[in-house]
Amino acid sequence: MNETPRRGLRRYSLLARQNATLATVMRTDILPLCDKHFRTMEACIAPYNADYSIDFFRCTDKFCGRCFGERVGYVTPQRNQTPTIAPDQPRCDFHGRPMFIISLDRQRNHVTYACTEPECYQRVLKT
């Protein structure tokens, strides 16, 4: 099922390759934590052109520029530069997608990462 693209609106496609899903719309039911401040991130939309926007999460700390995108993971975007992806960014073993921080246990100094795919329960624990 495809919607007809219209000026100012994104085209949504529900078609996916077999054994791989790459949603054209970001999940808004997840709430990543910033990988620098461990503060809740907020969902944002950056217009790219008249027919396409980029969905991402950004840190709610006033002076933090960290963002999380489902395709690139945690990055600090810079104008006119491609995002620099950290080599230690955890990725889901099943989907290959970057994982987001779902919780922080300050007593045990554990950070838990989760996959962005719906109904994927893979977790990575970093100390």
In a domain, 2, yes or no: no
Angstrom CA distances, 80 to 64, 77, 83, stand at 19, 9, 10
In a domain, 79, yes or no: yes
pLDDT per residue as tens digits for the range 91-125: 999 999 999 999 999 999 999 999 999 889 999 99
What is the residue range of 85's domain?
A: 41-126
In a domain, 18, yes or no: no
In a domain, 114, yes or no: yes
In a domain, 84, yes or no: yes
Domain total for the chain?
Answer: 1
Could you give the CA distance from residue 9 to residue 112 in angstroms, rounded to a whole number?
35
Could you give the CA distance from residue 27 to residue 55 in angstroms, rounded to a whole number?
9
Both tokens of 102, joined, read 């779902």
In a domain, 80, yes or no: yes
pLDDT in tens, the chain (127 residues): 444 443 333 333 233 333 344 455 667 678 899 999 999 999 998 877 777 778 899 999 989 999 999 889 999 988 888 888 888 899 999 999 999 999 999 999 999 999 999 889 999 999 8
In a domain, 74, yes or no: yes
